[in-house]
Amino acid sequence: MAMGILFCTTNLVFSQQNIAQNLLDVINSNQSRNFKNFISKNVDYQNNDQLFGRWEIMLKNTHKRYGRLSLLSAEITPNRALVIYCKSDQPDAYFQWVKIKMQYGDQQKFIRAKSEWVFDPEVKVPAGKVSIELLTQLTKEYVTQMASSNRFSGTVLLAREGKILYDGAFGWADKDAKKPMRKDTKLNLASTTKIFTGIAISQLVQQGKLTYDTQVGEILPYFKNKGSKSRISIHQLLTHTSGLGDFWSKFDVSPREKILSCQDYFDLVKNDALLFEPGKGKRYSNVGFIVLGLIIEKITGKDYKEYVKENIFSPAGMKNTDFYSLKNLPENIAHGYYFKWRGSRHRISNHDHKPIHGSPQGGVYSTLYDLLNFQKALNEYKILDKKYVELMTSPKVELYPGFQYGYSFQCPLVNGKRYIGHDGGSPGISAEFRMFPEDKLTLIVLSNFDMGADELAEFVTMLISR
C-alpha cells in the first residue's frame, strides 16, 4: 500500500520528528477535508485529478488498515526520503508496527510514498541467513513476545524433516472457564480445511473416477443444462477460477441449525449468477469447495465428512482431527475470541457466529501433532501418489499479484523460495500450515484469535527465505 503526505515549505522547516508527527496527525484525523488540504499543499500531483484521488484513497486506506498511529522514530535518508516508524494503537490492526517511506521530489513536495508493516522491534534479528538453531530461538522469542502483548493465543510447532524443533502453547483455550491452551489443544483450521477437500478430489482422479477437466454438469444433476455453470471444471473449482462466489452474507441471515450438509450450503446460493465466465477470471470461492464436496459425495456415495475421515485423517494418523459439532464439542478444544468493534480493547466469543460444524470449505478442528502427521503422510505418499502430490502443490494460477495457487494448495515464492500449504481465517480463528521443501521445514501455527497466526507465520517465513 502506498500512502502519505506532510507539510513542508522552503520558508518553514520542521524537524524530522515534527514532520513525521504532522503526517500521523493527518492520517489519524481520518477527515477528507484534511487529506485534500494537505495533498493540495504538499504533494506534487501534477494537476492530475486522478492522481490526487489516488493519494486520498491511500490515506484513507492507511487509517482503515492500521487505525491511529503513534510515532516511534523518523529519519531523513541520504537520497532525501523521510522514513517513519510508528505503531498502531488498535489491537485489531493486522500488524502493529508500520514503516512509512516518503520520497521528496525536486519541488520540495512528495512524489511517491509507501507503507508496509514491519515486525516487532523488540525481537532483535541479525542480518543475513539464520541457522536452524537461531531460527528456532527467534521463533520462540517472537511468539513469546506476541503472547505477552496479547497478540497471540494458540499453539505453534516448527519441525525439520518431521522432527520437532520447537512447540509451544500460549493463552487460554477457554478463558471463561480458565482453561489454558495446551500443546495438544484442538483448534479450528478454517480454510486450511480446503487442502483435505482437494486431496479427496485428487484421490478420485488417481482412481480414474474423475479428471481435472471433468465438468460439473457431467456429475451433478443440478448443473446439467445450466449454461456456463454446467461447464465449470474440477480444475477451475480447485483454483478459484470457476466464477462461483461466496455464501457468508446469506449464511449470516439464515438459521444456522438448518445449514448442516454440503447441499444445505449450496442451496443458499445455487440460483446466484456467476461472477464471471468459468476460466475467465479469478476470485477466491468458498462455494467452489462446497461444490467439490458435493462431487465427492456423488461419486463415493458417502457423506463428505465421513469420506475425508476414512481416506485422509485415518491413514495419516490424525486421531484428534474431526468436524466436531458445535453442539457437542469435546474436551480440550479452543474457543475463539475476536474484537467485535474496531478499536475495542476486549475480545468476545465467536460462538454465535460459527457454523454448527465444518464443511468442505473450512471448519475442521485439528492439533499441531495431527497436522505434523499429515505433513509426513503427504510427503511419504501414504494418502496420495507422488505424481498427484506434485501436481497439487505446483502453481496453476496467480490468485493474487505475486501469489501462486495450485490445486487447493497455496504455493507462493518468497525471495525465491517456495512454501506450500494453506492459511485459514475467520472471527476468532486463524491458522497457518506451511511446508518449506527446500529447507525440509514445516511451520504450523494455530490461534483462537483472528489473525493471531499470520504475523508469526510471516516472521518465520521471512527468516527461512533469506
- pLDDT, position 342: 59
Determine if residue 70 is left, alpha or beta; phi over 0 gives left, psi from -120 to 50 gives alpha, anything else beta: beta
**Around 414, how many Cα atoms within 13 Å sit in the side-chain half-sphere?**
19
| Residue 191 is among the residues annotated as catalytic for this protein | yes
Residue 363 and residue 193 in contact, taking contact as beta carbons nearer than 8 Å? yes
- At 63 the pLDDT is 87
Q: Helix 49-66 and helix 32-42: axis angle, to 10°?
A: 130
H, E, C per residue of 81-99 = EEEEEEEECCCCCCCCEEE
**Same CATH fold assignment for domains 16-118 and 159-464:** no
207 burial type by CB count under 10 A (0-12 exposed, 13-18 middle, 19+ buried): exposed
Per-residue confidence of the chain (466 residues) as pLDDT tens digits? 333 334 343 333 346 788 889 889 999 999 999 999 888 888 888 778 888 888 888 888 888 888 889 999 888 888 888 899 999 887 666 678 898 888 888 777 888 888 888 888 888 888 889 999 999 999 999 999 999 988 899 999 999 999 999 999 999 999 999 999 999 999 999 999 999 999 999 999 999 999 999 999 999 999 988 999 999 999 999 999 999 999 888 888 888 888 999 999 999 999 999 999 999 999 999 999 999 999 999 999 999 999 999 999 999 999 999 999 888 889 999 999 987 765 566 788 888 777 888 999 999 999 999 999 999 999 999 999 999 999 999 999 999 888 999 999 999 999 999 999 999 999 999 999 999 999 999 999 999 998 889 999 999 999 999 8
Q: What's the rounded Cα separation, in Å, for the pair 331 and 186?
A: 9
Residue 456 in contact with residue 120, Cβ under 8 Å?
Answer: no
Helices 32-42 and 16-29 cross at an angle (nearest 10°) of 140
Task: Give the pLDDT of residue 92.
Answer: 61
Burial 334-364 (b: 16+ CB within 10 A, else e): bbbbbbeeeeeeebbbbeebbbbbbbbbbbb
Residues 301 and 21: their CA atoms lie apart, in Å, by 64
Domain spans of the chain, in order of start: 16-118, 159-464
Specify the pLDDT at position 341. Answer: 65
The single-letter DSSP state of residue 360 is T
Model pLDDT, residue 124: 85
- Cα(19)–Cα(75) distance, rounded to whole angstroms? 10
Q: Superfamily assignment of 159-464 in CATH?
A: DD-peptidase/beta-lactamase superfamily (3.40.710.10)
Of 340, 428, 452, 344, the residue nearest 67 (C-alpha)? 344
| HSE (side-chain half, CA atoms, 13 Å) at 173 | 19
| CATH C-level class of 16-118 | alpha beta
- Predicted confidence at residue 345, as pLDDT, reads 63
Residue 228 burial by CB count (10 A; 0-12/13-18/19+): exposed, middle or buried?
Answer: middle
Q: Which of 88, 115, 153, 191 is catalytic?
A: 191
Sorted by sequence, the CB contacts under 8 Å of residue 131 that are 6+ apart come out as none
- Of 430, 465, 464, the residue nearest 447 (C-alpha): 430
List the grid coordinates of 436.
Answer: 518449506
Nearest to 55 by CA among 75, 36, 79: 36
First to last CA, the chain: 23
Q: What's the CA gap between 387 and 401, in Å, rounded?
A: 27
